[in-house]
Amino acid sequence: MVPTVVDGKTYYRTAEACQRVGISRATFFRWLRDGSFPDVKNLDRRGWRLFTEGDLKRLKRFRVS
């Protein structure tokens, strides 16, 4: 998987972000559904989530809490 770079900023899609953080996609979507983790703000033109490095850090902190 290759991250997306837009205007010099790197973004990761959901599968890439989950893999880098060490969680499953099912876990991530469960956290979204139950309101435990606020959704990311960036979407691509298809409406797919794009994670920044800051989003990855938030996910990592949430995972260990």
Pick from 40, 43, 42: nearest CA to 58: 40
Tell me how crowded residue 11 is: count the other CB atoms within 10 A of its CB: 21
Position 19 scores a pLDDT of: 96
pLDDT at 1: 73
Which pLDDT belongs to residue 9? 94
- In this prediction, residue 53 carries a pLDDT of 95
Q: Letter for the amino acid at 39?
A: D
pLDDT attached to residue 57:
95
Name all domains of the chain by residue range, CATH numbers in brackets. 4-64 (1.10.1660.10)
Q: Phi/psi at 34 (nearest 5 deg)?
A: -90, 5
Residues of the chain with pLDDT under 50: none
Residue-level length of the chain? 65
The reported pLDDT for the residue numbered 6 is 87
E strand or H helix that includes residue 57: helix 53-64
